[in-house]
Structure 1
Amino acid sequence: MLKSIYLPINRNTSRRPNIKAVIWNPMQIIVIGLIILVIRILYTLDARHFYGTTTDIAPIDYFVLTSECRIPYVDPFSAEVLDIFDPKKFTYFNCTNDVALIQQIYLNETKQYKLHMNMSAMAEVSKANAVNSGDMHCCYREIKRSGIYELATSGYDLSSCHRFQQNFLVPRHIDYIITECYIGNETKVIIQKDAFTFIQYRNLTDSFNAKRFSKLGIKRPSVLLLGIDSLSRINLRRTMPKTFMHLQRNDWVELKGFNKIGDNTFPNLMAALTSYNQTIAEKKCQYNTLGGYNQRMCNLIWNNFRDYGYRTAYAEDVPLISTFNFGRSGFAEQPTDYYLRPFTICIENNMRVENIDDLPNCIGRKHYAEYIIDYALQFSITYFDEPIFGLFWMNSFSHNSFDMPAAMDMKILEYLERMKDEKILQRTIVFLFADHGMRFGPLLKLKSGFLEERLPMMFISLPQWYRNEHPEFVKALQVNKNRLTSPFDIYATLKDIMELTNPVKEFPYLNDTTQGISIFREIPENRTCLNAGIGDHWCTCLLYEIVSINDKEVKSVAHLLIDEMNKYLVGKKIETKCAVLELNNIYQALRKTGINVNKSNNELTYRLWYFVRPRFKDFQATVLFNKTANKIEINVEDISRLDSYEQTASCIDMKEAKKYCICRK
């Protein structure tokens, strides 16, 4: 008998008391009955408040429950998860225990930065290092963007070290520096190195856009996109509970049906920033050509915000795997008004680096991610009275391990509280989101692994004045948080925000195939993954039934999948470097079911979890199988690999092909 694969998870029913073994007197029964009645009433009222309607209350067993989409609830702390995750093992740790010898201070009145030396700390250091004669001095090295190729080891210039005095006023042309404090004159002993970024104010009051919007008198919200790589909405609750509670208590709206549209960061982020799917992005952005991203036809939305009078910024840590450069040519020209890549490349190559899970985690005195969020806060504070648009993306503590975000829970909470205290949230629409969940590792082996990978977190904070001016947006959000959404909808929302700031001119909508709907407009109740631009393999709405792995059709589909993967390697001309793949075994087979699926139809959709030789690597694929022709329809690049390919694909540089390449010995 076939069973549904997506049933609500059993919540420790074995721990419930054996009611039959308990004897109740009538008064106890009455009291218990009243308690249950009160709880049911309170729950109903709370559910109506939470879901924003009195008629469309979603049961807690589902993230989304509509006529065309059912995304089942996942317990973040199920017994099988607790077997591989112990929250007590993870706490925030300082990258260094030494006292900062230099502090960066921002002067609000003049919009300038100064460097303040902690003289008492310097005296203590000098005393401790009395063996070295001479006074303690500090100097700075300016970092500049250099050339047009921004490889992980180039793309910056680092100046000689310029000595500075107490309360040194940083010149406005300097965007980032490395500082060195040392003892001695002839023989210098470096005591401490640090790195600082500066969002230097640039006056644009004479620009055409600034004057035009000033005359219109339209209040424009700032927009910040804060991204954490590979963090599902489920894993956020598990690994960062303090952050999650803060979001809940401070009226951040969560999109519980936010579903990724592609395998890795690139397709999901490009959908949000351009409205393009990966095929169109490849054509219009020409990202394998240096400068392709800089072309207007690439349509990165920060260009449109700049045209509308916004200052723009983009920052991302770990340049080796950054979104626009990993396996691609990057930007020929600086893409935004403020751009952090030259800084991140420089500090990785010139400061102490501590790796955790094969990624740089501590750079100098700070966690890598702290440089990114500090840059976002600087951006927001420097342009307190002017609209800004910024993308700030963090890979370092979340990309390689599902449990490492737990170590950053308190730090991310601290930054969110600072954003509130600095009143940034009073003037800024903030998206706190991810591109996808974990794509490899132990989490994917669990029953919930399919959903963990495909449901990234997505939270939105709206300023109170924006809520007051647009109550219809708030109402739509209350409905949409339990509807199916995708990164295409984020692009449509950004477009919506922009259009409201310029009612006399329509926003240039360059993509005819856009499938996004602004989350400020009600998402249709009967929306399907197809409507939302989500392919079958990534769709979390679809119900599948378990099929025997010995089924004749299943075996045929598995062998056809292996054939397609080998053809792909040949097509990429890497078959001499990568081994020929062979089917080892099928671990699980599912077949699409539901009211819209005709089982007598000639075409059926299968989802397989299978292992290949050599080296016993596991993959997951969703295919359309034509029984008569014995053929499958699939985009090979949509096949998921459930373990890391870092160690097995080092013989090639092609990003998309690494998943399927197992290097020959």
Structure 2
Amino acid sequence: MAPRSISYSFKRLILTFLAVTLICLWSMNSARFDEKFSAEDSQRVEKRFYVESGKCKMRYVDPFNAEFLKINHPKAFIPCTNESDLVSVHYDKILNQYVLHKNEEVLHELSESNTNDFACFYQQIIHGQSAEHYDGKDKRTKISQNHLVPLDVEGMLVECRTADETRVLQKDAFVFVQYKDPPQKVKPVKKASVIMYGIDTVSRTNLRRMMPMVHEFLKSPGWYEMMGYNKVADNSFPNIFAMLTGFSPESAETKICNTDVDGCLDKIPFIWKDFKKDGYLTAYAEDEEHSNTFNYAKPGFAVKPTDYYFRPFLTALENETLIQYCPGCVMKYCLGRRLANSYIFDYCRQFMQRYVADRPIWGMFWTNHYSHDDLFMLSAMQHKILEDLLSFEKDGAFEHTIMIFFSDHGARFGPLMYTKEAFLEERLPMMFIYLPPWFREKYPQYVEALAQNQNRLSSNFDLYNTLKHIINIEGLVEDTKWSYDCPQCQSLFYPLPENRSCSEAAIAEAYCTCHNYEEVAEDEGTWRLANLVVDRMNKYLHYHNLQNLCSNLTLRVVNSTEVRMDDKDVDLENGLRHYHTKFQVHQNLAEFFATVLYDKQTEELHMNVELISRTNMYGTDSECVNNKIQKLYCVCLSKLRAIIE
């Protein structure tokens, strides 16, 4: 253990030194920050492309360009509490049990007394048979010093009071990954564990801006950045759904069931079911109950989807602990004494500590409470996320684990949406893949392919195929079912076609970052185009019988119009061209971005309304409808605000 400890400390020292250096450079307004610290990125800057081929030219974005520096507003980290823990937890590896320890020094500080007249109790969080909700709290159990946590207790609420119970000294909460014996004692064939650690709304560019220390860590040996990774849908659900199922929600509705209907999500062939069949232990956790991927405007799961499922405990934490919000935060920042994200990290770390050295595991741990609503909050959290990654390394988890450190998309609203690079910012999420040393040694051909693919166009469906490939890494299963919605997609462990188009990666034109669009001067034609798009949106609302709930939209202003300059796949003789139009309507000043095929002469228009992006926050504007897509275009009649022109 000593060599690993030295390595961990040394790396931490180096990263701290780098952080200080980077912050100094930032304060000097170094617009070429990223280039100076990475020869690889410097090469990309000279070429000005992340991907450069005949079918795809994905432009590089300078993280610290002049536009960004004008709006940059980094945030300071805000702790949930300054108090030390009165009750702490450690894991006894001999007994395979968690142990609760009472810190009497902290007690004396909190009670302002030298006596030990106090008592701590816990109440077990009971989740019963329900997959989504907790069923309440058990009776109080007194905590003795070095109290052994019973193996059936997976979550608890803790409270310490003075002996007369007149004053609460501290409240806390803990969630445990309790150890379970493997179903058989036969030592399994060595397989790579897979951990997916995700942060909502982080583009590859904004990671470099807001979390330079994390970015430096991700340049360590074994990490590979998919710089050509392009999202396939607008928001979190369809992007995550694609990487976990190989389906779009629309195809799933046709082939399996409608994910908006109760019981459907239990029927969907999520990748964790494949891992489970292959002998993996599985886990899933998120840190926001309301905006949870499978529960926001969705029914959730009727049956517990993975071996370890965090949501019932999250529900208990949000209902039973003190909730704190940071300035400007909409989502819950602290649950009791801890960051909402801390519970997710602890759950992930415990899961790996309990099992990763002994048996293969798969888990996805998703956080959005600090990143979704404010892109600058990432800067406040970079030390926390770096500590997470360093802790995984210290534990030795990277010796066994393929880690996918990723996001679903970039910022979809906020100040970045008013910059020239907004289109790229929104569509290019970060995607890093780590391969452990033994895997790199055993499968050099897959490592070479992954390295080669870093600067080739890839999508969520390729990632899904990669997960399927990991399960069948020895090629023993011949009937592997790859991504349904992208027949031409493949595992990232095989070389992707160098000259690959968005359509070949199942990326719609509305999300494709491969093409060159240039702004056109505003005239009657650009206004007419936007008006036609608004008309289609109104027809869409009528088609779905929402006209009595949602306001008719009227065009207020055209912000910009762009035309595709490399339009090779359309009928130029008939005048059809691809356009981007960004506009605002009068109703609550809602803003939208649409990609369309349009003929300025004949006014022939081809578009899919459901691919139009809403580019400013809609908040409660659309609370009268439940469908996640329809919410984007609905301004509820009951929520109309008077706009002063």
Per the TM superposition, whether the score is higher than 0.5 is yes
Q: Which amino acid in 2 is paired with 1:370?
A: S
1:595-642 CA distance string (max 9 Å, x none): 625533343221101111223221100012256864422221210111
How far off its partner does 1:507 sit?
Answer: 3.2
Which deviates more from structure 2 when the two are superposed, residues 309-318 or residues 121-130?
121-130
Among candidates 521, 525, 530, match of residue 503 of structure 2: 530
Q: Which amino acid in 1 is paired with 2:154?
A: D
Q: Which amino acid in 2 is paired with 1:81?
A: F
1:141-164 CA distance string (max 9 Å, x none): 1112256484xxx54422232212
Correspondence 1:603 to 2:576: yes
User: Which structure is larger by alpha-carbon Rg, 1 or 2?
Assistant: 1
Correspondence 1:137 to 2:119: yes
- Paired residue secondary structure (1:160): strand
- Paired residue secondary structure (2:71): coil
- Paired residue secondary structure (1:411): helix
Correspondence 1:545 to 2:518: yes
How far off its partner does 1:514 sit?
Answer: 4.0
How far off its partner does 1:525 sit?
Answer: 0.8
What is aligned with 2:14? Answer: none
CA contact (8 A) 2:87 2:103 kept: yes
| 1:24-103 alignment, distance < 5 Å | 59-87=46-74, 90-103=75-88
Q: Which amino acid in 2 is paired with 1:189?
A: R
- Paired residue secondary structure (1:646): coil
What is aligned with 2:248? Answer: 277
What is aligned with 1:193? Answer: 171
Q: Which amino acid in 2 is paired with 1:80?
A: E
**CA 1:544 to 1:505, structure 2 compared with 1: closer, same or farther past 3 Å?**
closer
**CA 1:120 to 1:657, structure 2 compared with 1: closer, same or farther past 3 Å?**
same
What is aligned with 1:329? Answer: 299
**Identical positions, percent:** 38
Q: Which amino acid in 2 is paired with 1:330?
A: G
Q: Which amino acid in 1 is paired with 2:213?
A: K
What is aligned with 1:232? Answer: 203
Q: Which amino acid in 2 is paired with 1:135?
A: D
Which deviates more from structure 2 when the two are superposed, residues 440-449 or residues 649-658?
649-658
- Paired residue secondary structure (1:109): coil
Q: Which amino acid in 2 is paired with 1:361?
A: Y
Correspondence 1:456 to 2:429: yes
What is aligned with 1:113? Answer: 98
What is aligned with 1:125? Answer: 110
How far off its partner does 1:551 sit?
Answer: 4.7
CA distance in 2, matches of 1:50, 1:167: 54
What is aligned with 1:303? Answer: 273
> Given the two structures, how large is their TM-score scaled by the length of structure 2?
0.88
How far off its partner does 1:91 sit?
Answer: 3.0
Correspondence 1:172 to 2:151: yes
What is aligned with 2:137? Answer: 158
Correspondence 1:347 to 2:317: yes
CA contact (8 A) 1:491 1:516 kept: no
- Paired residue secondary structure (1:266): helix
Q: Aligned pairs, how many? A: 601
What is aligned with 1:24? Answer: none
Q: Which amino acid in 2 is paired with 1:245?
A: E
CA distance in 2, matches of 1:95, 1:128: 25
1:206-255 CA distance string (max 9 Å, x none): 3xxx75xx4xx631010000000000000001111111111113441101
- Paired residue secondary structure (1:460): strand
- Paired residue secondary structure (1:325): coil
How far off its partner does 1:573 sit?
Answer: 2.4
1:635-660 CA distance string (max 9 Å, x none): 21210111000032233333221111
CA contact (8 A) 2:111 2:169 kept: no
Correspondence 1:376 to 2:348: yes
- Paired residue secondary structure (1:319): coil
Structure 2 gap segments, 5+ residues each: 1-28, 641-645
CA distance in 2, matches of 1:173, 1:617: 50
How far off its partner does 1:191 sit?
Answer: 1.5
CA contact (8 A) 1:220 1:501 kept: no
What is aligned with 1:32? Answer: none
Among candidates 263, 272, 277, match of residue 291 of structure 1: 263
> Given the two structures, how large is their TM-score scaled by the length of structure 1?
0.86
Among candidates 609, 625, 633, match of residue 652 of structure 1: 625
What is aligned with 1:588? Answer: 560
Among candidates 529, 546, 561, match of residue 574 of structure 1: 546
1:483-515 CA distance string (max 9 Å, x none): 111111110100111111562564344737544
CA distance in 1, matches of 2:128, 2:601: 59
CA distance in 2, matches of 1:306, 1:475: 28
CA distance in 1, matches of 2:478, 2:505: 27
1:423-475 CA distance string (max 9 Å, x none): 10010000000000011111111111111100000011100000001111111
| 1:374-453 alignment, distance < 5 Å | 374-383=346-355, 384-453=357-426
Report the RMSD for the aligned CA atoms in angstroms: 2.5
**CA 1:285 to 1:371, structure 2 compared with 1: closer, same or farther past 3 Å?**
farther
CA contact (8 A) 1:490 1:516 kept: no
